[in-house]
Each structure stands twice: as C-alpha cells, then as structure tokens.
Amino acid sequence: MYNKNTAIIKNDEVMPGHWLLCLDSPDIARAASPGQFLHVRCSRTLDPLLRRPLSIYCADRERGRVYILYRAAGRGTALLAGMRPGDRLDVMGPLGKGYTLPSPGRSVAVIGGGIGAAPLFFLLSEIKAIYSGRLENVAVFLGAATGELLLASQTAALGFSPYTATDDGTVGFKGSVIDLYIDTNGSKVDRIYACGPPPMLKSLSRALGPDIRAEVSVEERMGCGVGACLSCVCKVREGAGEEFRYAHVCKDGPVFSIQDLFF
C-alpha cells in the first residue's frame, strides 16, 4: 500500500529522544502484522533523500490507527519528530515478513533491547489476543540503557510482567538483557522472539541451544523497501558449513530464524 497523504494524529516525545507517532490508516492497521515495517518519507525535499524503515509499534484495527515508536537518531527521524498532528506523511507499507505467531498456550520468551522492543509490543498484543489473555507461558525480557527507556509500563499495561535489565542497574538486573534471560530462564521455551541491537542478537545466538527456535528482527541500510534495489542484504546460511547467500532484509525479513544468520 502506498499513501502520500497519511494523516498524523499524534507525534509526541514519550521518552527522552523517543517519539510515538500515531497515523490514521485503517488499511495499514488491518493489513499489518508484528515485525513488519512502514517505509516513511521523513523529508519533503530531496535531502535527506531516502525513506526510513520504521517498525510498527502497534495497530488499533478498530479505530484504524497505526503507531510507530521511534528514536530520533539521525536527520530523517529528527525531521519526522518535527511533524505535527494534522500534517500528512508519505507512507509505504506494511512491508516485509514479520514474526510467526505462536499457537495458543505455547511457551514463548520475548526479548527486546532498547528501541528494539518496539515491534515486540505489537507482537505481545497479538499474543495476548491469541492466548485469550492466559499469559502464564509468556516470559517478557526488556533491556535498555536506563530505566526511563524501558517499555516496562507499556508492557505491564498489556498484562505482562516483564523482567527488566538496565546498563546502569537503576532498574532491575544490572547488565544485558541476554544475561538476564540466561539467569532467569533455566527452563526451555518453545520459541523465542527477539529484537534489538546486533551485539544483543549475537549474544542470544551464542546462548541458545541448537534446538530452540528463535525469530529475530534484523536491521540493515535500506533503499527501496520492496526488494528492487538489493541494498539491504544480510548473510544467511546455505547448507551446513560457512556457505551463504544474501537475503534481503526488506523482503525476506526483517524477521529471520536466528539459526540462519551469521554473527
């Protein structure tokens, strides 16, 4: 889908350096699934030139609204942070292949690092619906640099009780969310869902046994968003050894099975 004139309902700084964007788009809300992204034009001029891929934070299908939680990290997202309710946004999406949703009752762990927790919030709200609110088999692990950047209260509002880790130790476990996961979760789960910075995914990959299925979301510099320009590649395993092929994050991902990736 492509709409040059998607109305902005809200765009507020909800955590230091992080904005929550609400778009009026029943079509996207209906079509979106967790782990997918929107390809957004942040500039009205030719500089910065490219769109920015932003993962979907949640979709309110009843009200036809889509939310994106983003960090104003560079020039594009800084321009986006300057947009106001009523402004129109040029949006392509939802794009990409998201997470495979679990069947009801399966035990899962959901692990988010930093702003990487944003798409997992969408996943958690879908899991809550699939599990009819019976969430005892869902363990949520959130990590962030500081306590104020944790999405703990948002996750708790959905009915989950997240385990938390911060780099500075001000809230929860002091250290990485993967160390927290290893410390806490002795028992095996059927599936892990994760999103976060590359070092986090790397340590998750090392920590996992070979028989645990894990789906992780990957980032790479992206051009077109639809698989045409072949820019956003990541290596995926081809056979047993070190052989690889390039997958395209925008189309084959952004969610991949962790066993297929190289770290």
Partner 1 sequence: MNLQVNIGGIKMKNPVATASGTFGLGREYSGFVDLNRLGAVVIKGTTLLPRLGNPAPRIAETPAGLLNAIGLENPGVEAVVEQYLPFLRQFDVPVIVNIAGDTVEDYARLAQRLDRQVGVAGLEVNISCPNVKKGGMLFGSDPDSAAEVIRGVRASTSLPVIAKLSPNVTSIAAVAESVAQAGADALSLINTLLGMAIDIRSKRPVLGNIMGGLSGPAVKPVALRAVWQVFRAVKIPILGMGGIASGEDALQFIMAGAGAVAVGTANFINPAATIDVLKGIEDYMEENNILDINDLVGAAHR
204 binds partner 1 (CB under 8 A): no
Q: CB of residue 37 vs partner 1: minimum separation in angstroms?
A: 15
78 binds partner 1 (CB under 8 A): no
**Least distance to partner 1, CB of residue 261, Å:** 13
CB 146 within 8 A of CB 174: no
46 binds partner 1 (CB under 8 A): yes
- Tokens matching residue 17: 């350096």
**Residue 157 binds partner 1 (CB under 8 A):** no
Beta bridge partners of 40: 52, 91
How far apart CA 37 and CA 40 sit, in angstroms, is 9
15 lines the binding site for partner 1 (CB under 8 A): no
Size of the site for partner 1 (CB under 8 A): 27
Backbone angles phi, psi at 221, to 5 degrees: -55, 125
Q: Which of residues 226-245 bind partner 1 (CB under 8 A)?
A: 226-234, 245
CA dist 25 and 137 (Å) reads: 33
The sign one gets for the Cα dihedral 172, 176, 177, 182 is negative
Sheet with 65-71, edge to edge strand ranges = 52-55, 37-41, 88-95, 2-15, 18-24, 65-71, 58-60
Is residue 27 involved in binding partner 1 (CB under 8 A)? no
Stretch of 109-117, 168-176, 182-190, 223-231 lying at the interface with partner 1 (CB under 8 A) = 223-231
> In this complex, which beta carbon is closest to partner 1, that of residue 15 or of residue 226?
226
Q: Which residues bind partner 1 (CB under 8 A)?
A: 2, 41, 46-51, 90, 92, 220-221, 223-234, 245-246, 251
